[in-house]
Amino acid sequence: MADDDDVYVTSTTAPPETIEIEKGAEVMGMPQWAFGSIMGLIVAFCLIVPILVYLRRIANTRKPYTPDNAPNIDAFAREIIQKTSQSGVLGTSRLARQ
Domain around 39:
27-62
Closest by Cα among 45, 44, 22 to 32? 22
Helices (H), 20-88: 32-61, 74-87
On whether residue 45 sits in a domain, the answer given is yes
On whether residue 71 sits in a domain, the answer given is no
Task: Please give the tally of structural domains in the chain.
Answer: 1
On whether residue 40 sits in a domain, the answer given is yes
Residue 24 pLDDT > 70, yes or no? no
Q: What is the model's pTM?
A: 0.42
On whether residue 50 sits in a domain, the answer given is yes
On whether residue 14 sits in a domain, the answer given is no
Which position has the higher pLDDT, 91 or 42?
42
On whether residue 92 sits in a domain, the answer given is no
CB-side exposure of 13: number of CA atoms within 13 Å? Answer: 3
On whether residue 1 sits in a domain, the answer given is no
On whether residue 20 sits in a domain, the answer given is no
pLDDT digits (tens, 9 = 90+) for 65-84: 887 887 888 988 889 888 88
Q: Which pLDDT belongs to residue 2?
A: 52
pLDDT digits (tens, 9 = 90+) for 25-64: 787 888 888 999 999 999 999 999 999 999 999 999 998 8
